Every structure is written in structure tokens, then in C-alpha cells.
């Protein structure tokens, strides 16, 4: 009789363990990233390339994105970090060109021009020039 009870308990434990590992503890479902445009959903397998880059040349700085293996580029975004309290010193970024392997950007910033006229600072306006080297840029490129 003891053997029957032990066998029954082992069978019950096996059934409960099978139920627990197959139905109760399911792995989360895979939810693919979907990209949309004005025409609706893009039926592609999207890739997103992100990195933080130190800019060493503000005039035509090239960023290598070949590690993503893009076929097409959907969008690109570059944000330059500069801690400044002067609005004219905020850097501006322009994407000069983009291919499936490289992104080329220009970074400019304003330089306020002032002169001392009889002991008073007089503003002559702001000129823009290529930004100094060493700025950090946050880059994100989406494509497939």
C-alpha cells in the first residue's frame, strides 16, 4: 500500500510540475518593433543604431554606422551636448550626407561679437562658426 501512495504522489508531482513549467511560467511573447510613416506601417525588420560620439571635426565629421548593416535608412537624429547659459552658444547640427554606412554632420555655434566703446560693451551681433572639437553627440539612426 505504501508503494501505491508513493507512486501516486510522484505521478501527481510530475503532472503538477509539467503544468507549471508549460502553462504557468510562459516566456514573454516577442513583440517586434514596428515603424510607421505617413503611408502606414513599413513592412520591414527595423534596426536601430545608437551611440555617443566625441566630435573631432565640426566641418564634415563622419560617423561610421556600418556595424548595423543597413540596407535602407528611414531616419537619423543627432543631438549635441553643450552646457551653456547663453542662447547664442547652443550648437546646431546639420546632417550633411547619409548613406547606409556613414553619417556626415556639420556642427556650428554662435559667437557673440562685442566691443568696448567708451567703457560700455556694445553688441555687434552674433556670427556663427564651426563648433570647437570635443563636443559629445548622441546619434540614433533607424533603418532596415
Taking only the tens place, the pLDDT of each residue in 79-122 is: 988 887 777 778 889 999 999 999 999 888 877 666 667 776 66
Sequence spans of domains, the chain: 38-143
Query: Would you say 116 and 43 are in contact if contact means Cβ atoms under 8 Å apart?
Result: no
CB-based contact 60:106 (threshold 8 Å): yes
Q: How far apart are CA 23 and CA 5, in angstroms?
A: 27
First to last CA, the chain: 66
> Are 74 and 35 contacting, i.e. CB atoms less than 8 angstroms apart?
yes
Would you state the pLDDT for residue 23? 60
Q: What is the pLDDT of residue 123?
A: 66
pLDDT at residue 19, rounded to an integer: 62
| pLDDT tens by residue, 6-51 | 676 677 676 666 766 666 555 556 667 777 888 888 777 888 999 9
Of the options 2.60.40, 2.40.50, 1.10.10, 2.30.110, the CATH number for the domain spanning 38-143: 2.60.40
Amino acid at each position: 500500500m505504501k508503494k501505491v501512495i508513493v507512486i501516486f504522489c510522484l505521478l501527481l508531482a510530475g503532472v503538477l510540475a509539467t503544468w507549471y513549467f508549460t502553462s504557468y511560467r510562459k516566456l514573454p511573447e516577442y513583440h517586434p518593433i514596428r515603424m510607421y510613416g505617413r503611408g502606414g506601417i513599413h513592412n520591414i525588420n527595423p534596426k536601430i543604431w545608437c551611440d555617443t560620439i566625441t566630435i573631432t571635426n565640426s566641418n564634415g565629421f563622419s560617423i561610421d554606422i556600418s556595424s548595423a548593416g543597413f540596407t535602407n535608412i528611414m531616419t537619423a537624429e543627432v543631438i549635441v551636448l553643450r552646457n551653456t547659459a547663453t542662447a547664442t552658444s547652443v550648437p546646431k547640427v546639420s546632417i550633411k550626407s547619409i548613406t547606409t554606412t556613414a553619417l556626415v554632420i556639420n556642427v556650428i555655434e554662435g559667437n557673440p561679437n562685442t566691443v568696448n566703446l567708451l567703457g560700455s560693451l556694445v553688441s555687434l551681433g552674433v556670427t556663427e562658426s564651426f563648433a570647437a572639437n570635443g563636443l559629445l553627440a548622441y546619434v540614433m539612426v533607424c533603418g532596415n
